[in-house]
């Protein structure tokens, strides 16, 4: 799902820590897929873990404000991995 060539533009090329983190997540995602975990269940668990981690780090209010921006970002295609930019 998260192949390196497609996701490289998501982060700055010099942001090695985020690239490494994404590689770990991609490996875990592939392993879960091989084990038969449904992608929707995996995605829900990943979102829960990510949001819970951010809330723990920054608190509820800042993360709630961050999440308010998500609908617009999704509609703009920022989370569409296979999109073609013209």
Sort 14 into a burial class: Cβ within 10 Å, 0-12 / 13-18 / 19+: exposed
- Tell me the CA distances in angstroms from 20 to 16, 24, 52, one per residue in order: 6, 6, 21
Domain ranges of the chain: 1-37, 38-85
In the predicted structure, residue 4 carries a pLDDT above the cut 70: no
Q: Give just the sign of the alpha carbon dihedral 41, 6, 34, 19.
A: negative
| Range 20-36 burial, b when 16+ CB lie within 10 A, else e | eebeeeeeebeebeeee
Instruction: With cut-offs at 50, 70 and 90, classify the pLDDT of residue 81.
Output: confident
The percent of residues above 70 in pLDDT, for the chain, comes to 79
């Amino acid at each position: 799902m998260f192949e390196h060539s497609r996701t490289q533009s998501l982060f700055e090329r010099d942001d090695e820590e985020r690239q490494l983190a994404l590689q770990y997540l991609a490996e875990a995602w592939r392993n879960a897929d091989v084990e038969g975990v449904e992608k929707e269940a995996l995605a829900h668990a990943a979102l829960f873990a990510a949001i819970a981690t951010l809330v723990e780090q920054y608190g509820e209010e800042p993360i709630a404000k961050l999440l308010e921006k998500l609908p617009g970002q999704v509609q703009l295609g920022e989370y569409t991995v296979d999109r073609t930019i013209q």
